[in-house]
Amino acid sequence: MTPVLNITPISEWLPAQALPLVIAGPCSAESEQQVMDTARELAMIPQVKVFRAGIWKPRTRPGAFEGVGKPGLKWLQRVQKETGLLVTVEVANPKHVEEALEHGIDILWIGARTVVNPFSVQEIGEAIAGHDIPVVIKNPLNPDVKTWLGAIERLNQLGLTKLVAVHRGFSFFNRSPYRNAPMWEIPIELKRLAPNLPIFVDPSHICGNRELIPATIQKAFDLEMNGLMIESHISPSKALTDKNQQITPAHLTELLLKLILRRESGGVEFENKLEALRSEIDKLDEELIDILARRMNVVQEIGTYKKANKITILQLKRWNQLTQDRIEAGIKMGLSREFILKLLESVHEEGIQRQIDVMNSDEP
Ligand code: PEP
Ligand code: MN
What number does the ligand 1 atom closest to the CA of 241 have? 3
Of 65, 205, 206, the residue with max ligand 1 atoms within 8 A of its CB, to mutate for a pocket test, comes to 205
Which pLDDT value is given to residue 349?
94
Buried b (16+ CB within 10 A) or exposed e, 76-94: beebbeebebbbbbbbbee
* pLDDT band at residue 126 using 50, 70 and 90 as cut-offs: very high
Where does a domain end: 236, 258, 280?
258
Q: pLDDT tens digits, residue range 41-92?
A: 999 999 999 999 999 998 888 889 999 999 999 999 999 999 999 999 999 9
Say if residue 236 is in the same domain as residue 329: no
In a domain, 290, yes or no: yes
Say if residue 153 is in the same domain as residue 201: yes
In a domain, 263, yes or no: no
Which pLDDT value is given to residue 296?
96
Q: pLDDT tens digits, residue range 11-44?
A: 999 999 899 999 999 999 999 999 999 999 999 9
Q: Are the beta carbons of 306 and 354 closer than 8 angstroms? A: no
For ligand 1, atom 3, the nearest C-alpha belongs to: 27
- Say if ligand 1 is within 6 A of residue 111 CB: yes
Angle at 316 between CA 313 and CA 317, to 5 degrees: 125
What is the number of domains present in the chain?
A: 2
- Say if ligand 1 is within 6 A of residue 233 CB: no
Say if residue 230 is in the same domain as residue 174: yes
- Say if ligand 1 is within 6 A of residue 112 CB: yes
Which pLDDT value is given to residue 4?
86
What number does the ligand 1 atom closest to the CA of 52 have? 2
pLDDT at 2 over 80: no
pLDDT at 263 over 80: yes
Of 57, 89, 168, the residue with max ligand 1 atoms within 8 A of its CB, to mutate for a pocket test, comes to 168
Say if residue 114 is in the same domain as residue 244: yes
- Say if ligand 1 is within 6 A of residue 205 CB: yes
In a domain, 1, yes or no: no
What number does the ligand 1 atom closest to the CA of 58 have? 5
Say if residue 88 is in the same domain as residue 189: yes
Q: What percent of the chain is predicted at pLDDT more than 70?
A: 100
For ligand 1, atom 2, the nearest C-alpha belongs to: 27
* pLDDT band at residue 362 using 50, 70 and 90 as cut-offs: confident
* pLDDT band at residue 1 using 50, 70 and 90 as cut-offs: low
CA distance 180 to 303: 46
pLDDT at 363 over 90: no
157 CA to centre of ligand 1 in angstroms? 24
For ligand 1, atom 4, the nearest C-alpha belongs to: 111
Say if residue 150 is in the same domain as residue 240: yes
What number does the ligand 1 atom closest to the CA of 57 have? 5
Which pLDDT value is given to residue 159?
98
Say if residue 93 is in the same domain as residue 35: yes
Say if residue 220 is in the same domain as residue 94: yes
114 CA to centre of ligand 1 in angstroms? 10
Q: Which ligand is nearest to the CA of 167?
A: 1
CA distance 342 to 347: 9
Say if residue 278 is in the same domain as residue 202: no
The boundaries of the domain holding residue 15 are 10-258
Q: Roughly what angle, to the nearest 10 degrees, separates helices 118-128 and 145-157?
A: 30
The structure's pTM equals 0.79
For ligand 1, atom 8, the nearest C-alpha belongs to: 111
Q: Are the beta carbons of 108 and 55 closer than 8 angstroms? A: no
CA distance 320 to 13: 61
Q: pLDDT tens digits, residue range 268-308?
A: 888 899 999 999 999 999 999 999 999 999 999 999 999 99
What number does the ligand 1 atom closest to the CA of 113 have? 8
Which pLDDT value is given to residue 322?
94
Say if residue 121 is in the same domain as residue 48: yes
Q: What is the mean pLDDT of residues 120-149?
A: 97
317 CA to centre of ligand 1 in angstroms? 52
Where does a domain end: 213, 233, 258?
258
pLDDT at 313 over 80: yes
Where does a domain end: 258, 277, 308?
258
The pLDDT mean for the chain works out to 95
What number does the ligand 1 atom closest to the CA of 138 have? 9
Say if residue 138 is in the same domain as residue 120: yes
